[in-house]
Amino acid sequence: MSDFDLVVAGGGLSGLMSAIFAARHGKKVLVITRGSGILAIGGGTIDVLGFLPDGTRLASPFAGLDRLPARHPYAIMGADAVRDALEAFLVLTEEQGFPYSRNGDDNMPVITSLGAVKPSYLVPQSMDVRCLAKAKRVHVVGVQGLKDFGPAFIAGELGRRSDFAGKEILPSLLASPFTPGRDLSPLDLARYLDRPDGTAWLIQRLREQIGEPDAMRPDVVLLPPVLGTRATPQAHAVVRDGAKLEVCETVGLPPAVTGLRLHHLLLRLLKKYDVDLIEESAVTGSYIENGRCLFLSTNNDGRERRYRAKAYIIATGGVLGDGFVVQPDRALEPIFGLELPTSPADPGWAMPHAYPSCVDHDGSASAGAHGFALLGPAVDARLRPVNNNGKPMCDNVFFVGKTLGGYDHAGEKSGNGVAIATAWHAVRQAFAAD
């Protein structure tokens, strides 16, 4: 049995950020993960809060933090913890040479590969489309054979939006750098653009397709997410400077290259701070004595292994990460055997139109919310699981990210923000006495 300061169960964004925050401050950390969750296939942007639970769109995520239900993770932690966590994330990305952009306290628009526009708070520099505000002419540029990116469709969708009124939006299609007729994924092209000959190809094709600088040249070129797989701004800078164009990436459909970059960045940080990582393994049990967890256990190939630490963070991803067991008449968190306050047997779990609503354990309804996303254990202000009397069940166990529940990450556009903020808060609470 090995001893650590912190053992983290789960390798998604909340789990890895918990490990990095703790290790950065000198703690000995172990991460046990079955996979990377949706982190490696997500969009790579940090959505903090784009909409209130009632659907109200927010210009700034911080304008809505005091208007959230009491069970929402942001309401539990408070606005200061959210701000501190985001600042800490920005410091890490800057230090690693992969800085994120922000627009003060306001959300920024992010364009998707379906031509939609979503609000996000922090975005990689290659996806910062604020330059579109003053643009008069925009080209949406795809590549022959590239799946899930239709320039004409995207241009048409953007052209119907009021915030793009008065702009000329034109689709363009570049010849493929590979065998004619070959189907391509964004990852295929991103790997090609990791190489100097790949960026040279794109620069040359953009010059040929769009022409040399003149009055008819576009102000901005929108690309699929193909500017390399690495968590560096190099490919973006090379293409932008070589083509003498303002170039921006869209957010792709999963599996997205932009999420892969963020995942690579976090793995780089794990290595930098000497975090131990056990992959392809899942925490299956725990041992509690006198209100404290003494160890977590795994069971691979019929052999139990135990991992002991001063504190434990559970980041197993809730329903989407297979972190909960959901049965017809009950729902529970299996590592600690916690009965979840809202279960599938509750009224309102299912709606006639296929998308569930949720009735919180306090009886308040969340309009239009996805019930599976709101499912999670009751916790105190330190993110420790509590019993029916509100008393902590384990003094040294903390829940983070989607394992918490209480928020609709998709509807609110809050998933990655909650992941980072709860990771930061849990680590601070775990080692508050140090």
Helix, strand, or coil here: 155? helix
Say which CATH architecture domain 107-261 belongs to. Answer: 3-Layer(aba) Sandwich (3.40)
Q: What is the DSSP string of 173-217?
A: EEPPSSSTT--B-HHHHHHHHTSHHHHHHHHHHHHHHH-SSSTTS
Give the per-residue pLDDT at 210.
Answer: 82
| d(C-alpha 99, C-alpha 430), whole Å | 28
Burial 421-433 (b: 16+ CB within 10 A, else e): bbbbbbbbbbbee
Please tell me whether residue 69 adopts helix, strand or coil conformation.
Answer: coil
Quote the pLDDT of residue 348.
53
- The radius of gyration of the chain's CA atoms, rounded to the nearest angstrom, is 23
Query: CA 416, 421, 427: angle at the middle one, nearest 5?
Result: 130
Confidence (pLDDT) at 215: 56
Residue 367, φ and ψ in degrees, nearest 5 = -65, 125
Give me the average pLDDT of each 10-residue run along the chain (434 residues): 88 96 97 82 91 92 94 95 97 95 95 93 95 91 93 95 91 92 92 96 92 72 95 94 93 88 95 95 92 92 90 91 80 88 56 39 44 83 91 94 90 94 98 85
User: What is the DSSP secondary-structure string of 299-329?
Assistant: EETTEEEEEEEEEEEE---TTTTT-SEEETT
Q: DSSP label at 140?
A: E
pLDDT of residue 318: 85
User: Where along the chain do its domains lie?
Assistant: 2-35+49-91+279-430, 107-261
The dihedral through the CA atoms of 91, 93, 99, 103 has a sign that is negative
Look up the CATH superfamily of 2-35+49-91+279-430.
FAD/NAD(P)-binding domain (3.50.50.60)
Give the per-residue pLDDT at 361. Answer: 36
Q: What are phi and psi of 341, to 5 degrees?
A: -60, -35
Q: Which amino acid is at 205?
A: R
Per-residue pLDDT, 371: 67
Determine the pLDDT at residue 327.
78
Instruction: Give the pLDDT score at 362.
Output: 37
* Burial group, residue 418, by CB count within 10 angstroms (0-12, 13-18, 19+): buried
Res 102: pLDDT: 96
**How confident is the model at residue 11, as a pLDDT?**
93
Cα dihedral 413/112/17/255 (nearest 10): 120
Note the pLDDT of residue 358.
39
Residues 6+ apart with CB under 8 A from 330: 339, 343, 344, 345
Q: What is the model's pLDDT at position 366?
A: 42
In order of 171, 253, 267, 295, 297, the CA distances from 281 in angstroms are: 46, 28, 17, 16, 10
**In terms of Cα–Cα distance, which of 193, 177, 208 is closest to 239?**
193
